[in-house]
Chains A and B, each alone.
Chain A
């Protein structure tokens, strides 16, 4: 008999990093399916390329850097899928590839790998692609729904134009990136993440509420503001990235509120039509500050303990 000795605890919650990532992938599937349904096979191709190159980049980097290969934690797959969903269906193959490689190698691995990156990899990659190839990145077409009688029409902006119906916005009958078009599909994913306790409600709810509040204050239609662009997709799948958001519920609320403010400011007063990417990235940067300076009550300490 060979008895093991170890320090307690001797049991663990069944959830693992791998399973959490898998839950995120499952939650993304409705949005991905809606995107492919709306934009056809090119959308599927973009998603496949971005996922494959994300996983391959991670594998190659970890081999070259002689680190343990951890592609089986599925985190690279999540990054690839999210980036793909953030591209227009018309994106050329190399755009998806460069984006994924940049996300995984530059944003994630160079800063220490999973858990050590201070920016959301997919978001940062999208920002870089947007700055480098703005034409490819904003080449949005109207959904064709596999109907060949509809010509793919290039449109200028994914944001709401006068005359767009809210129902169209909700169901995805609008031009936009692959993942963000169908709000219904995103909400299904959100529910799945909540039920499986993969994420808490704070970040998505506060962020969407904050966008509505500030759009209303700046004189826009709050409901249209929520349903257009990447607000819902960003709130559910990108702002909730564990690594780059604060650790406490209150910290997360501040973070999400800040994203809503920045998004509304950019949309209303900035040169860019869309601000979700920069809103999330800027608050990613603020995350360590929030974690550091948000006071926490520690059991048995009279004053709120100051953190080191």
Chain B
């Protein structure tokens, strides 16, 4: 089979296990913590509204936050026990978010579940509402509500559902383990999504640094209607939605549009497995696999209840092995730093990576030598060195003309830069400024 890939890109940390954590051969183990803090703002769109109060007894899987409108999903209790707080907590962004804290009684008593049965036999019209009710959001990092993605607008034509098993980020092996250990669930979830939307073709795309996962998924997909496995040549950011579509189908998502505009929907492997759990067992999304690695004693893939506090997850991995200098959710290329170890992980937290003092230090910028490595790295085809000049001068109009808004902040240019220029941070700043300007303009009208 021919391996496919996209244009340009980089190979981050290629020399260290191909950029992967030492966890790729370790079986996932379950860890349940004493307390969970479940954020109400785990999805893109409107946050949920808490519907329990302090002192309530809740069952596992019970709704504790109601969805607000279409682009929103309900939130469920990930353990059974007593609600000990419903309050705002500081989180990753600037604004505090509403969260429900539950003290675990370790009974794991499920609330009443409504399974729909075999994904091949269930009434297709019931699938999307069930996905919504299970609180499923994109589990690769973006947290976009999955039912919204699968609800096509009038006239939209989709011919392929892609399952993103690229896992191109450094350190992370959560999707890898899921494919090895629970491949059938991924295929079931994909089939459910295909039947719900009437799409005939489903392709599970996996990078060739996971040959065992490719084999496992091929086996899992045997005899399933319209499901194909595609091997990809390993390169970052292959798991970016746009790059994955380019690699597998050769199509490009039009600028400023959605994948659906070129006839494709992309789902993460974890999302597919969650869909299968929701349809077959009626279980909402209350746990996920998270890779905990870096400076921890026993790096592991943990199956964590949503809302597990970072401190507990690290404790489950034997604690820190060195003085931590930086901790982030996700891989090293796009990971979001956490301010302290008392924040909880969320539905999209695929990794918790701890860097030591030295690794965590920010590098000093030196002058651009126009070596062209950023240009050769940019998967979009931008000129990062020029955008950086514009952004540094706060000339956001010029940055806009240089297509900074097409930048998806993958970090490839900043990774490749020998002068350690802060390219991606500048572009994020410029994009935020432009978005704020556009919003202000829209408001003035």
Task: List chain B residues, Cβ under 8 A from A2.
Answer: 325
Task: List chain B residues, Cβ under 8 A from A307.
Answer: 383, 402
Contacts A13-B10, A13-B418: A299 and B380 contacting too (C-beta < 8 A)? yes
Task: List chain B residues, Cβ under 8 A from A244.
Answer: 370
Asked if residues B372 and A248 are in contact (CB atoms below 8 Å), the reply is: yes
- CB of B87 within 8 A of chain A? no
- CB of B149 within 8 A of chain A? no
Task: List chain B residues, Cβ under 8 A from A305.
Answer: 403
Q: How many residues of A contact B (CB 8 A)?
A: 42
Chain A contact residues, majority secondary structure: loop
User: Which chain B residues (360-411) contact chain A, with CB distance < 8 Å?
Assistant: 360-363, 366-373, 375-376, 379-383, 385, 398, 401-403, 406, 409, 411
Contacts A4-B360, A9-B334: A298 and B255 contacting too (C-beta < 8 A)? yes
Asked if residues A296 and B419 are in contact (CB atoms below 8 Å), the reply is: no
Contact of B328 among A8, A12, A15, A301 (CB under 8 A): A8
With A and B bound together, what is the CA distance between A249 and B375 in angstroms? 10
A197 nearest CB across to chain B (Å) = 9
Q: Which of A33-41, A109-117, A181-189 is the interface stretch?
A: A109-117
With A and B bound together, what is the CA distance between A135 and B21 in angstroms? 64
- Interface Cβ pair total, 8 Å cutoff: 158
Q: How many residues of B contact A (CB 8 A)?
A: 70
Task: List chain A residues, Cβ under 8 A from B415.
Answer: 9, 11-13
**What mask results when residues 1 to 40 of chain A are scored 1 for a CB within 8 Å of chain B, else 0?**
1111111111111011101100000000000000000000
Task: List chain A residues, Cβ under 8 A from B73.
Answer: none
What residue in chain A is nearest B425 (Cβ atoms)? A7
User: Which chain B residues (251-289) contact chain A, with CB distance < 8 Å?
Assistant: 252-257
Asked if residues B324 and A1 are in contact (CB atoms below 8 Å), the reply is: yes
What residue in chain B is nearest A296 (Cβ atoms)? B381
A169 nearest CB across to chain B (Å) = 32
Task: List chain A residues, Cβ under 8 A from B376.
Answer: 249
Asked if residues A298 and B406 are in contact (CB atoms below 8 Å), the reply is: yes
Task: List chain B residues, Cβ under 8 A from A7.
Answer: 422, 424-425, 428
Contact of B411 among A8, A17, A300 (CB under 8 A): A8
Contacts A7-B424, A13-B10, A15-B418: A242 and B324 contacting too (C-beta < 8 A)? no
Asked if residues A19 and B337 are in contact (CB atoms below 8 Å), the reply is: no
B39 nearest CB across to chain A (Å) = 19
**What mask results when residues 182 to 214 of chain A are scored 1 for a CB within 8 Å of chain B, else 0?**
000000000000000000000000000000000
Asked if residues A115 and B337 are in contact (CB atoms below 8 Å), the reply is: no
Task: List chain A residues, Cβ under 8 A from B372.
Answer: 242, 246-248
Asked if residues B254 and A10 are in contact (CB atoms below 8 Å), the reply is: no
Contacts A4-B337, A5-B339: A242 and B371 contacting too (C-beta < 8 A)? yes
- CB of A161 within 8 A of chain B? no
Asked if residues A10 and B355 are in contact (CB atoms below 8 Å), the reply is: yes
Asked if residues B328 and A10 are in contact (CB atoms below 8 Å), the reply is: yes
Contacts A7-B428, A11-B12, A20-B418: A73 and B382 contacting too (C-beta < 8 A)? no
Asked if residues B418 and A9 are in contact (CB atoms below 8 Å), the reply is: no
- CB of B128 within 8 A of chain A? no
Asked if residues A3 and B338 are in contact (CB atoms below 8 Å), the reply is: yes
Task: List chain A residues, Cβ under 8 A from B22.
Answer: none
Contact of B382 among A12, A13, A20, A298 (CB under 8 A): A298
With A and B bound together, what is the CA distance between A17 and B363 in angstroms? 13
Asked if residues A308 and B370 are in contact (CB atoms below 8 Å), the reply is: no
Asked if residues B332 and A10 are in contact (CB atoms below 8 Å), the reply is: yes
- CB of A63 within 8 A of chain B? no
Task: List chain A residues, Cβ under 8 A from B252.
Answer: 299-300
User: Which chain A residues (147-202) contact chain B, with CB distance < 8 Å?
Assistant: none
Asked if residues A114 and B257 are in contact (CB atoms below 8 Å), the reply is: no
Asked if residues B367 and A298 are in contact (CB atoms below 8 Å), the reply is: no
Task: List chain B residues, Cβ under 8 A from A298.
Answer: 255, 380-382, 403, 406
- CB of B205 within 8 A of chain A? no
**Which has the most chain B C-beta neighbours within 10 Å: A1, A7, A12, A248?**
A7
- CB of B242 within 8 A of chain A? yes
B427 nearest CB across to chain A (Å) = 9
Contacts A8-B334, A299-B242, A302-B254: A242 and B328 contacting too (C-beta < 8 A)? no
A25 nearest CB across to chain B (Å) = 15
What residue in chain A is nearest B414 (Cβ atoms)? A9
With A and B bound together, what is the CA distance between A2 and B424 in angstroms? 24
With A and B bound together, what is the CA distance between A248 and B333 in angstroms? 24
With A and B bound together, what is the CA distance between A11 and B411 in angstroms? 9
User: Which chain B residues (314-330) contact chain A, with CB distance < 8 Å?
Assistant: 323-328, 330
B18 nearest CB across to chain A (Å) = 14
With A and B bound together, what is the CA distance between A302 and B262 in angstroms? 13
- CB of B246 within 8 A of chain A? yes
What residue in chain A is nearest B355 (Cβ atoms)? A10
What residue in chain B is nearest A68 (Cβ atoms)? B366
28 contacts between A and B (CB under 8 A): A2-B325, A3-B324, A3-B325, A3-B326, A4-B362, A5-B337, A7-B422, A7-B428, A8-B334, A8-B409, A10-B359, A10-B360, A11-B333, A12-B420, A13-B417, A17-B369, A17-B419, A75-B369, A243-B370, A297-B381, A298-B255, A300-B253, A300-B254, A300-B255, A300-B257, A305-B403, A308-B398, A308-B402
